[in-house]
């Protein structure tokens, strides 16, 4: 018995030493945000609800003797997602960071166009007014940036071709799955770029991208596959940030309606101002779209005009109190619907 215990202890000690010597560097990060939303739809019933946003991410990395860094990550909240899922947040593949400053994302790499969408300030709260499932109007700059998990994205080093310029290229290929009743992305190609420069005391960022995807479904063929472009500019002077952006594109088989395809455009603008522990955000987004059943022409008009604002207060290190407000004016199939407003009060704890 004593010999078995000694052998077991030696084995555990050996494995423990080996795991320490061979382990990659692991870091953890995440946030817990919770609060109450007060939703007041026009023509509907006021409702109150608790809104939670919880994320826990583990990042892994190691550097080879040649100086290349290999990294990956996963979110604990995604562990229940079925392998091969095509929607929702998905675990990362691998990122290879080279000594010249360039990077290559491999597997589930995403879309290079979306990687360069300029961030436009808006409410930091979690409030919103729901619209009908048939309203296809968009309010984000990267709504047309689809891809499959079988893809790569290459990021250039900083100062590529010109000082302050970074570029990306991405492509993904068909998963081999049979086409179904819902449109699915088979492949994509995308380009994106960000240029940063200083104009006196102002730091200016210009970002843009182009994406084109091919897809399929059983039955009627689509008239336009996903694709389009976006461009935005942000200017930071001291504690003040001002940004605007525009996007235009086509989407087939959206999550809003698997049988729909639409052409949409988005205009966004926002302002952020930081003073001490307080941050003020104001944003506006206007989206218009024309939707059809897949393969049809003509279509009806949908729209969303969203105005939002928030005040955030840094209570302590990693803890932020948030008060947010959003107002929505919307129309579906040319008729006004789903107008309303919402308030949010809550706090975010990050680590």
The CATH number of whichever domain residue 303 belongs to comes to 2.40.160
Does 73 reside within a domain?
Answer: no
Return d(Cα 167, Cα 297) in angstroms, integer.
Answer: 36
pLDDT at site 49: 92
| pTM strictly above 0.85 | no
CA dihedral 43, 45, 48, 49 (to 10 degrees): -90
Is pLDDT at 83 greater than 70 in this prediction? no
pLDDT at site 255: 53
Does 305 reside within a domain?
Answer: yes
pLDDT at site 256: 53
Higher pLDDT, 79 or 48: 48
pLDDT at site 223: 66
Confidence class for position 13, pLDDT limits 50, 70, 90: very low
pLDDT at site 15: 38
pLDDT at site 112: 94
Confidence class for position 168, pLDDT limits 50, 70, 90: very high
Is pLDDT at 114 greater than 80 in this prediction? yes
Does 20 reside within a domain?
Answer: no
Is pLDDT at 224 greater than 90 in this prediction? no
pLDDT at site 306: 96
Q: What is the mean pLDDT of residues 264-285?
A: 97
Q: Is 79 exposed, middle or buried (0-12, 13-18, 19+ CB in 10 A)?
A: exposed
Is pLDDT at 109 greater than 50 in this prediction? yes
pLDDT at site 43: 76
Confidence class for position 1, pLDDT limits 50, 70, 90: very low
Return d(Cα 211, Cα 209) in angstroms, integer.
Answer: 7
Return d(Cα 169, Cα 191) in angstroms, integer.
Answer: 5
Provide the residue range defining the domain that includes 323.
113-350
For residue 51, the tally of other CB atoms under 10 A from its CB is 15
Does 312 reside within a domain?
Answer: yes
**Angle at CA of residue 182, ends 177 and 185, nearest 5°:** 55
Q: Closest by alpha carbon to 130, among 196, 21, 40?
A: 40
pLDDT at site 11: 34
Is pLDDT at 113 greater than 80 in this prediction? yes
Is pLDDT at 183 greater than 80 in this prediction? no
* Residues 299 and 288 sit within 8 Å (Cβ to Cβ): no
Find the length of the chain. 351
Kindly give the pairing relationship between strand 240-252 and strand 260-275: antiparallel
* Residues 109 and 93 sit within 8 Å (Cβ to Cβ): yes
Confidence class for position 294, pLDDT limits 50, 70, 90: confident
Give the tokens for residue 73.
Answer: 């990550």
Return d(Cα 278, Cα 260) in angstroms, integer.
Answer: 43
Is pLDDT at 279 greater than 90 in this prediction? yes
Is pLDDT at 148 greater than 80 in this prediction? yes
Confidence class for position 259, pLDDT limits 50, 70, 90: low
Give the tokens for residue 166.
Answer: 């970074």
Higher pLDDT, 318 or 74: 318
pLDDT at site 215: 81
Q: What is the mean pLDDT of residues 141-167?
A: 92
**Into how many domains does the chain fold?**
1
Q: Which single residue is written with the structure tokens 């990306």?
A: 168
Does 341 reside within a domain?
Answer: yes
Confidence class for position 296, pLDDT limits 50, 70, 90: low
pLDDT at site 258: 54
pLDDT at site 12: 41
Does 254 reside within a domain?
Answer: yes
Is pLDDT at 268 greater than 80 in this prediction? yes
């Amino acid at each position: 018995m004593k010999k078995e215990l000694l052998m077991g202890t030696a084995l555990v000690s050996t494995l423990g030493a080996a795991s320490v010597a061979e382990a990659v560097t692991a870091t953890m990060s995440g946030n817990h945000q919770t609060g109450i939303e007060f939703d007041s739809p026009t023509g509907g019933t006021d409702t109150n609800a608790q809104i939670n946003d919880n994320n826990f991410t583990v990042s892994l990395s190691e550097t080879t003797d040649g100086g290349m860094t290999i990294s990956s990550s996963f979110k604990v909240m995604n562990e229940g997602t079925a392998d091969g899922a095509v929607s929702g947040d998905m675990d990362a593949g691998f990122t290879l960071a080279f000594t010249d400053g360039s990077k290559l994302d491999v597997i589930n790499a995403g879309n290079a166009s979306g990687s360069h969408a300029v961030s436009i300030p808006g409410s930091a709260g979690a409030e919103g007014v729901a619209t009908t499932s048939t309203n296809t109007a968009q309010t984000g700059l990267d709504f047309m940036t689809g891809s499959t998990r079988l893809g790569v994205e290459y990021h250039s080093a900083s100062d590529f071709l010109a000082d302050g310029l970074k570029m990306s290229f991405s492509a993904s290929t068909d998963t081999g799955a049979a086409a179904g009743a819902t449109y699915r992305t088979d492949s994509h190609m995308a380009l994106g770029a960000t240029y940063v420069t200083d104009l006196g005391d102002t730091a200016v960022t210009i970002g843009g991208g182009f994406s084109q995807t091919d897809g399929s479904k059983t039955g009627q063929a689509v008239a336009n596959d996903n694709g389009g472009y976006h461009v935005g500019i942000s200017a930071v002077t001291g504690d003040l940030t001002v940004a605007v952006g525009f996007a235009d594109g086509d989407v087939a088989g959206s999550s809003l309606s698997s049988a729909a395809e639409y052409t949409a455009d988005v205009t966004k603008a926002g302002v952020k101002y930081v003073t001490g522990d307080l941050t003020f955000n104001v944003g506006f987004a206007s989206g218009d779209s024309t939707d059809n059943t897949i393969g049809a022409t003509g279509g009806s008009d949908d729209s969303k005009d969203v105005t939002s604002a928030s005040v955030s207060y840094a209570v302590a290190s990693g803890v932020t109190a948030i008060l947010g407000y959003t107002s929505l004016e919307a129309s579906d199939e040319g008729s006004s619907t789903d107008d309303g407003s919402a308030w949010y009060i809550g706090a975010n704890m990050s680590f």
